[in-house]
Amino acid sequence: MALEISDQSFKDEVLGSKEPVLVDFWAEWCGPCRMLTPIVEELSVEFKGKVKVAKIDIDSNHEISVEYGIRNIPTLLFFKDGQVVDKVVGILSKEKLAERMQSLLAN
């Protein structure tokens, strides 16, 4: 299950994480976001203990969205050691996202 985070918990959960983190920037009204949700949830189970998977609702968490320049959703940011190392805007297949998550672990 993906972890729901907020502007307040972002620093601890993402920037302070010992493991790599995938952050899904989404909104309830966004159709493509809702299509991506099951994929993100499946990946959170498959990568449990290796990559933390988090979701942040941009409608109620403007601060982090602005800080990272999120203009389109869904946007996925991949963090390692507190730094953005990869970014996906829009929908990718589960296989492509899994490949990107594997590359987080490889580097």
Mean pLDDT (the chain, rounded):
95
CATH number of the domain to which 95 belongs: 3.40.30.10
Residues designated catalytic: 30, 33
pLDDT digits (tens, 9 = 90+) for 2-48: 999 999 999 999 999 999 999 999 999 999 999 999 999 999 999 99
Q: Is 80 exceeded by the pLDDT of residue 107? A: no
Q: Look at residue 75 and give its three-state secondary structure.
A: strand
- What is the total count of domains within the chain? 1
Instruction: Give the 3-state secondary structure of residue 38.
Output: helix
pLDDT of residue 104: 86
As a whole number, mean pLDDT of residues 93-105 equals 94
What is the mean predicted confidence (pLDDT) over 63-92?
96
Domain extent, residue 80, equals 3-106
Share of the chain above pLDDT 70, in %: 99
Is the C-alpha dihedral spanning 87, 43, 6, 82 positive or negative?
A: negative
